[in-house]
Amino acid sequence: MLFRNTVAQSGSLLVGYLFSFLLAPLMLARLGLDKFGFWSVTGAFATYAGLLDLGIGRSIVRFIAIYDAEGRRDRIRQCLGLGLVATTLVGLAALVAVAAAAPLLSQQLGVLDAEQTRVVAMAAVGIWTLNGYQGVLNAVGLGRRQMVPPNVATTIALTVNFAISVAALLASTSLVVYALANVAAALIGILPSYVALRRIWPGPRWARPGRALTREVLGFSVKNQIGWLADLVNFQTDKVVIAFAVDVRAAAVYEIASRVVIGVRSAAVLTVSALMPTAAAKIVEGGRRVVGPMYRRYTLRSNAIAFPLFTLAAVTSPFLLVAWLGRAPGDSTLLIPVLTVAYMINTTTAVGSTIALSAGHPGLVSLNAVLIAVVNVALTVALAPLFGIWGVVGGTFLALLVGSVRFNARFLRLFDLSPGDFLRGVVPTAVLAVGLALPSIALAVLVGTPDGRLSAALLLALSLILYVPPYWWLATRGGYLPEKLRFPGVGSRQPVESP
């Protein structure tokens, strides 16, 4: 079931990033670098508004999984009601806030006038709110580990969004038109999520949340919210700082590089995307004794998939950018490798973070997130005026490095695991992933940045041929990969440990 749920989660997420990947060149061609950067910055502000829900939207999946294991259907309905109420209140408050702040934002960024800025910013909040409703409706299927219907619904919504976005860009070069088209797409996207909910959850489907449940969810979600804040700082604050400290075009270049890295990171953590409800249910049933086997198994499996993805993104960035966009804007070919290494290190915390949250220890994740956020903000704000975009990147790299090392050490102590449990899941896969990239690194150094899309695509394909088959074979032979992803016909030297 976990493999099927992971595939379902992976499918919808990969479709989303594929569509984002395909849209970026069209957006740059039709909107230009300035408007592209403006859209990414207003989207960041809309995401900040999501902090106001106190983490309820991201936490109810865990509680639905627990209540489903306990057979408490009334509590599941209350979770659904609580999520809908929280999303509505936050959306209304955020609309008022961005409407009032639009003149200041327009003055600082200098791309759109105040009225256009207001419409685009309110549209970004509307998109966040409507996507929030989709997330709440999908939470029941995810929490009950019936992940195929909600992820099919998400894929349908993403496809509708992509089609409407392309149509809007072909029809107009106005960012206002593009923003409103995305609001319409998000509204239509609620329908498949509601249909999926009706398929897997009998009515009545939601109920007014009681005080006891609200206190229980909030006690966890507020701490979990701080953990999400770190991701928000790392993924969104950097481009906001760049937009104000440097300029919006530099923010656009950073957004292009970060899209590649975030896409790779999202693909890399797909191995644990379905783990939280499963881990929460297992810990309820078996206690702390199940943590060790789960951690050892999924750390190795997760890194065996994540590390080669990060490595390939880093070494092929010149080929990838030119094949994708037709050119490599600014310092993007150098930004991608640096950011990739930072997030590759941070990905070693993915399994531990998921297990800690599933076991009811959000403070372990949130306190570490505070450290990352504080260090990142302090360094980026201090270094951006001196070193521009590279000051921001350097601050992010150091913050993620310090936070990752600290979290892994604390997680091992909390669950009585040894450093060897961590190292056995990290070192072999890292050595294999980086070592096999040496031919691709030599190719990138010798060739440099290609001149056209065709030559870039051919070089990218050559790099994949040099890397993927030998890594796949050796990772299978070493027993690093999940059983269903192993090289056909190749045996493993390592026994499979039960989770």
SS3 of 48-64: the string is HHHHHHCCHHHHHHHHH
Same domain, 351 and 237: yes
CA dihedral 117, 118, 121, 123 (to 10 degrees): -120
Same domain, 336 and 283: yes
Residue 30 and residue 79 in contact, taking contact as beta carbons nearer than 8 Å: no
Same domain, 262 and 407: yes
**At 329, is the secondary structure helix, strand, or coil?**
coil
Neighbours of 180 (CB within 10 A): 17
The reply to whether 494 falls in a domain is no
Residue 376 and residue 399 in contact, taking contact as beta carbons nearer than 8 Å: yes
Token pair, residue 277, equals: 């409800």
Neighbours of 24 (CB within 10 A): 17
Residue 255 and residue 40 in contact, taking contact as beta carbons nearer than 8 Å: yes
**At 450, is the secondary structure helix, strand, or coil?**
coil
Which residues of 131-259 form beta strands (DSSP E)?
none
Same domain, 102 and 242: no
Cα–Cα nearest to 240, from 93, 416, 109:
109
Domain end residue (candidates: 209, 243, 259): 209
- CA triple 23-164-80, angle to 5 deg: 100
Domain end residue (candidates: 157, 186, 209): 209
Question: What pLDDT is attached to residue 496?
Answer: 44
Question: What pLDDT is attached to residue 50?
Answer: 56
DSSP 428-441: HHHHHHHHTTHHHH
Quickly tell me which residue has 């990352």 as its tokens. 372
Same domain, 223 and 203: no
Same domain, 117 and 247: no
The reply to whether 362 falls in a domain is yes
Same domain, 205 and 224: no
Token pair, residue 318, equals: 């010149």
Same domain, 302 and 443: yes
The reply to whether 60 falls in a domain is yes
Domain count, the chain: 2
Token pair, residue 145, equals: 């580990």
The reply to whether 487 falls in a domain is no
Cα–Cα nearest to 359, from 434, 414, 299:
414
- CA triple 330-230-358, angle to 5 deg: 135
The reply to whether 495 falls in a domain is no
Same domain, 352 and 451: yes
Element (H, E) at 134: helix 114-143
Q: Is the dihedral of CA 246, 251, 257, 262 positive or negative?
A: positive
The reply to whether 94 falls in a domain is yes
Same domain, 306 and 400: yes
Quickly tell me which residue has 């509590």 as its tokens. 75
Cα–Cα nearest to 87, from 119, 131, 121:
131
Residue 321 and residue 258 in contact, taking contact as beta carbons nearer than 8 Å: no
DSSP state of 347: G
Residues 6 or more apart in contact with residue 36 via CB below 8 angstroms: 24, 27, 28, 252, 255
Question: What pLDDT is attached to residue 495?
Answer: 46
Cα–Cα nearest to 42, from 31, 58, 30:
31
Q: Report how far residue 413's alpha carbon sits from residue 356's, in angstroms, rounded to the nearest whole number.
A: 12
Question: What pLDDT is attached to residue 283?
Answer: 78
The reply to whether 499 falls in a domain is no
Q: Report how far residue 427's alpha carbon sits from residue 470's, in angstroms, rounded to the nearest whole number.
A: 18
Domain end residue (candidates: 150, 180, 209): 209
Cα–Cα nearest to 432, from 303, 341, 268:
303
Note the Cα 296 to chain centre separation in Å: 23
Same domain, 266 and 404: yes
The residue range of the domain holding 375 is 219-481
What global pTM score does this model have? 0.66
Question: What pLDDT is attached to residue 36?
Answer: 83
Residue 91 and residue 132 in contact, taking contact as beta carbons nearer than 8 Å: yes
Regions in the chain scoring below 70 on pLDDT = 1-12, 44-55, 57-58, 223-236, 268-278, 491-499
Token pair, residue 1, equals: 């079931």
Residues 6 or more apart in contact with residue 315 via CB below 8 angstroms: 337, 437, 440, 441, 444, 463
Question: What pLDDT is attached to residue 498?
Answer: 44
Question: What pLDDT is attached to residue 497?
Answer: 47
DSSP 223-245: HHHHHHHHHHIIIIIHHHHHHHH
The reply to whether 486 falls in a domain is no
Largest CA-CA distance found in the chain, in angstroms, rounded = 65
CA dihedral 367, 368, 372, 378 (to 10 degrees): 40
Same domain, 180 and 288: no
